[in-house]
Structure 1
Amino acid sequence: MQSSLILASSLLLLVDLSSACFASGVCGGGCAPPPPAPSCSGGCGTGYGCGQYGCYRVRARAASSHTLKIERPESSVEIEDTPEPATPDEKFHACCAERNLPDSCMSKCSYSTYTRDSLQNMYFRMDSCPMQAAADIHFCAAQGRDHTACCARNGVATTLAGSKCMTFCDQRPGNVTQLDLTYLACYDRFENMKACFWQDVAKKL
C-alpha cells in the first residue's frame, strides 16, 4: 500500500516536472521526453485559428466590461466576446483563452477542475488536452504572479524538498528553474499552492 502511494506521488510530480520542461526547455533529471507537438495539419474550422497546441477558438478581446462583437475579415464570421472576468474562475479561463489554449484544455481552466488528477490524465495522454499546455494552465492559475509569501504560510515548504517547492509558487514570466526528482515531495502541496492562487485572484477582483 505504501509503495503504491509512493509510486503514485512520483508519477504525479513527473507531470509538473514535465510541464516545466515544456515551458522552459530546461531539464534536470526526471523529465519525460515531450510528446510530438499538436498540429493543425487537417486545418481548423471556421472561427478557429492554429496555435502552438493545435486549433483554438478565436476570441475577441474586451476593452471594457461591455460585450463586444468583431468581424474577422478573412472569414466574415462574427465572434462575440464575453464581459470582463468577474470571478476567479472567469479570470483563470480568460487567461487560458488569451494564451490560445484549445477547447480540450479550456475545461481545466478553473480552480475546481485544475487538479492533480487532471494533470495526471494529460501526462498519460488519457486526456485530449496536450501535456505541453500544462505550463500555460499553471501560469494562468497563478495569474503570472509570485505567491511565495502565501505558499510559505500555507506550508508549501513543509516537505522533504523544503524551500525548493516555492519554485511552483512563483509564476512570474521569465523564471526558469532546472528541475530534478528532489522536487518530488512538492506535489503533496498542490492544493495548498492552488489555494494561494485563488485567494490572490479573489482579492484583486
Structure 2
Amino acid sequence: MNRLLLLIALVGISTVFGCSSSPSGGGGCGCGGGARGVLRLEGDDAIEEDFGEIYGLGLWASPKLPNNVSLSQAQDPNFHFKSCCAGRALSTACVARCNFETYNQALLQKMLIGVDECPLNSLPEMHFCAAQGRDHTSCCKAKGVDATTSGDKCLVFCDQIPDKFTPIDYTYAACFGKFDDMKQCFKSTIAAKAKSFFRHH
C-alpha cells in the first residue's frame, strides 16, 4: 500500500475514536447510561465495564442468555462482532463483513477506494464492534503494535472504550500495517471473555 493510500486510510479511520450517544448515523460509537456488568477472565480480578445501554453490546449485560442465543453463539467472537454491527444498524453488506476472517486489510483497501458494497463511513462502527467497546492496549503491546515508526501512537486504535476522541494525522501512517495484529487481539480477548462470562445456567 503506497503512502497516499495509507493517509487516506487514516482519514477513514480517524473518526473511530469519536463516540456519541446514538447508534449508526450518529457519528461514532454510541453509548448510554445503564446497568453495569462485571466481566472477568479465569484467575483475574473482576473488571467492571459499563455496557448497559451501549448499542449493539446488550448481550454482555447479563451472563443469562436470551432464549434465541445458544451458548456456542455467545462464546463465539464472530457472533458478537456481527450482532453488534446489526444492532448498530449497519447495512446488510457491512453486517456480512463483520467477521474476523473477512475484516482485514484487503477489505479496508476496497472500502477506501470505494469498490466494496460496505461504505467507508461504516468503518468506525465496524471497528468499535470488532473491539466490543473495550481497551485492548495490553494485548496490542504484546503483539508489537507499538513497534512501528509511529510508536505508541498506534495503540490508540486498540482502545475502543466509548467517549474518546483522538485526532489522526500522517504521523499515524505506519499503524495501518499493524491492523491484523490489532484484529487478532480483539478476537482472542473477546473469545476469552465470552468463554468465561457465558456459561450454562
TM-score, normalisation: structure 1? 0.68
Partner of 1:155: 144
Q: Based on CA coordinates, which of the two structures has the bigger radius of gyration?
A: 1
Higher strand share: 1
Give 2:190's aligned residue: 201
Q: Structure 1: how far apart are the matches of 2:130 and 2:16?
A: 17
Q: Structure 1 residues 204, 22: CA separation in 2 closer, same or farther (over 3 Å shift)?
A: closer
| Contact 1:13-1:186 within 8 A present in 2 as well | no
Relative to the length of structure 2, the TM-score reads 0.69
SS of 1:176's equivalent?
coil
CA distance in 1, matches of 2:105, 2:127: 11
- 1:48 is matched with none
Contact 2:10 2:170 in 1 (8 A): no
Identity %: 37
RMSD: 2.5
Residue in 1 aligned with 2:53? none
Give the number of aligned pairs: 154
Higher relative contact order (CA 8 A, sep 6+): 2
Equivalent in 91, 98, 105 of residue 102 of structure 1: 91
In 2, Cα distance between equivalents of 1:177 and 1:146: 14
Distance 2:16 2:127 in 1: 12
Aligned: 1:118 with 2:107: yes
Task: Assess if the C-alpha contact under 8 Å between 2:131 and 2:186 holds in 1.
Answer: yes
1:66 is aligned to 67
In the superposition, relative to structure 1, how do residues 110 and 135 fare at CA in structure 2: closer, same or farther (>3 Å)? same
1:13 Cα offset (Å): 5.0
- TM-superposed CA distance for 1:22, in Å, is 7.0
CA distance in 2, matches of 1:146, 1:133: 20
Cα distance 1:23–1:186, how it changes in 2: closer, same or farther (>3 A)? closer
Q: Using the alignment, how far apart are the partners of 1:103 and 1:143 within structure 2?
A: 19
Provide the rounded CA distance (Å) in 1 between the counterparts of 2:98 and 2:87. Answer: 12
- 1:120-159 → structure 2 map (5 Å cutoff): 120-159=109-148
Q: Which aligned runs of 4 or more in structure 1 are off by greater than 6 angstroms? A: none
